[in-house]
Amino acid sequence: MKSPKQFLIDNLRSIPDFPKPGINFRDITSWFINPDCIDVMTDLLVARYKDEGITKIVGLESRGFLMGSVLSRELHAGFVLARKPGKLPVKSLSESYTKEYGTDSLEIACDAIGPDDVVLIHDDLLATGGTALAAYKLVEKFHPKKILISFLIELTDEGLHGRDRFPKDVQLDTLVTV
């Protein structure tokens, strides 16, 4: 019988030469169309985080919203949206970051996280780490008790080193590394 992680790897769609020649795009939407994959992801994530005392899940726009909201329900934690600029209707804190072709920002509502919170930042993919690092810096502005970071998949096969951008003491986990 396959391990749960091998099951996910076997169900991961790879699209060669997308979005440009030489790139092997790892398409996790193949996991979301398969309810067995959703169950496996949920079970693995809940098993990993059930004893961490998490009070808030921060989901990064937009694919971090998918499993982040499932985790929020399963761990009985609040769900916090980390949105692109101008999408939140309330006062928010923001953090800017550099992308391949410019800059972008993430915003979180000012009242979303408190000093007693244990926060799990969740996103779908760790590649270069720019967006997730911005989310980490943004959550730090709220001075929570603890910050953990979770990804569904980490890409290392293209020589990406996103994990290396984070402080060494940050608990950063991925379900699958390719």
Among 2.60.40.740, 3.40.50.2020, 3.30.428.10, 1.10.10.60, name the CATH number for the domain at 4-177. 3.40.50.2020
- Give me the pLDDT at residue 158, please: 65
- Give me the pLDDT at residue 68, please: 97
- DSSP label at residue 83: B
Query: What is the 3 state secondary structure string of 95-149?
Result: EEEEECCEEEEEEEECCCCCCCCEEEEEEEEECCCHHHHHHHHHHHCCCCCEEEE
Cα 81 → chain centroid: 12
Sheet with 171-177, side-by-side order of all strands: 78-82, 56-60, 118-126, 146-154, 171-177
Contact 40, 105 (CB under 8 A): no
pTM (two decimals): 0.95
- Give me the pLDDT at residue 22, please: 86
- Give me the pLDDT at residue 147, please: 98
Considering only CA atoms, give the Rg of the chain.
16
> How many Å apart are CA 83 and CA 32, to the nearest integer?
21
- Low pLDDT (below 70) residues in the chain: 158
Whether 63 sits among the annotated catalytic residues: the reply is yes
Whether 100 sits among the annotated catalytic residues: the reply is yes
Q: Which of 48, 52, 61, 63 is catalytic?
A: 63
Query: What is the token pair recorded at 40?
Result: 């496996």
> How many Å apart are CA 167 and CA 87, to the nearest integer?
29
Rounded (10°) angle between helices 35-49 and 64-75? 60
Query: What is the token pair recorded at 96?
Result: 């800017």
Nearest to 54 by CA among 129, 113, 142: 113
